[in-house]
Structure 1
Amino acid sequence: MFYRDHMANWIADLFCSLVICVALLVVPTPVAAQGSCVSTRSPEARLEFNHMDPMLDRHRSVKWLNSRAGGNPRYVVAGLTEYEMQASFDMRFEPREVGNGRYCLELVRVSPKVDVIKHLVYVASELARGTCEYDAVYAHEGEHVKVNQGMEADIRVALDDLIRDVVIKVGAMFPLAADNVPGAMRRLSSEYGRDFKRRLKDIDRRRREKQRQIDTPQEYERLAASCGPNSAFQTTLQQAAR
């Protein structure tokens, strides 16, 4: 085995912060709006996704890469991909009086946020650019990058769908008695906070499976033989990793 994908601090370690800010603002509404929980204004409903293009690092030795990857003695690590992101979910309501002591929940904001804070591709410093070995390692790590970028696209779709679900569900609610308002806000916040985490975990599970399909014994054997029997995979890198 020559390479493996190393995802540092991924969604398993993802910092998911659920920020619920409730402004207990009572706003009288016209009689025509009573009994309806259709929003009287457009909520702030958007996904904030801060993307980062992958960056190449060619200054790490094979020995450093092997240590970074866990030091598995079965193979030499000549390439590595690291990806790290953070995510949070912000959802806010304001109770709106609609008459007869009943209130609608006015959705003020629903805004998932995703920050990509690391997307690094390492190719061992012992491999010169333009060599067969360098090209083989670079192409292999490029497959991992494609999986990461595909995952980002899946996250955008999933969280845009989540935002639409929140807007539709809150807008379709019936007016509530005043005593039921706090519990309804807690229930919705908890429900959609769990949904937010579940969608990210599902995407991460699919991502991990795709990464495993890239890092197979058959792929490592193919790469080892791709540059001939006396390539740097069998000579220079083996020696440098010791």
Structure 2
Amino acid sequence: MKRLTVVGMGPGGKENMTLEAHAACERADLIVGYTAYIELIGPMFPDTETLATPMMREVERCQQALERADAGSDVVMVCSGDAGVYGMASPILELAENFPEVEVEVVAGVTAAQSGSAVLGAALSHDFACVSLSDLLTPWELIERRLAAVASADFCVALYNPRSKRRADHLAKAAQIMIEAGKPPQTVCGWVRNIGREGQESGLTTLEGLKTFEADMFTTIYIGNERTRVVRGKVVTPRGYRQIEQ
């Protein structure tokens, strides 16, 4: 069988991978991924061939993985977090139309929204949305509409890719958009940097405070809803169970 497995490796450490993800990598002939991810996962499987490409070479990376699978190798494409959340599952499946003999499997992983929420406490215990602030592939005007929509509906929000050198003001703009759409400036927010990796940091702030917060591309931002609060230093968004029992 010609097989390519797209694996969500979680935050990056072995302890954060699912058993299914680890098993897929263990049986692989070749592990393909973004350079930084191969540097993380390569040492876990030292006897397995790896192939890495830098940022902005995603389509080339997927094409090479499919070609190797079509030639008979058992190939794994690794992504951080979950492969289906801002990951490589989508482009692999799109390109796989040209490789009808290759069976593509997708293995779920723990994405940043989940793992970072756990670091903070229970930030996403009610309805929530994930929004990436990267306008590399999505027009900023569309991102603005999505931010306003989820804010007006009082969703909890996990923000991916909050800031880079090229778009240093996107997080501040996002906070202002959400305030204008109805979220109070004092809404409880949190942040986690380098989730599950060496140098992990986290902290609390408010929606207003996000305007001046120095985030980077390794930071995930969490914005609460109107009921989110801090309990013993942990972010808690009540689901409502206590109300039912009363």
Question: TM-score scaled to structure 1, two decimals?
Answer: 0.19
Q: 1 or 2 for the larger relative contact order (CA 8 Å, sep ≥6)? A: 1
- Kindly indicate which of the two structures has a greater share of residues assigned to helix: 1
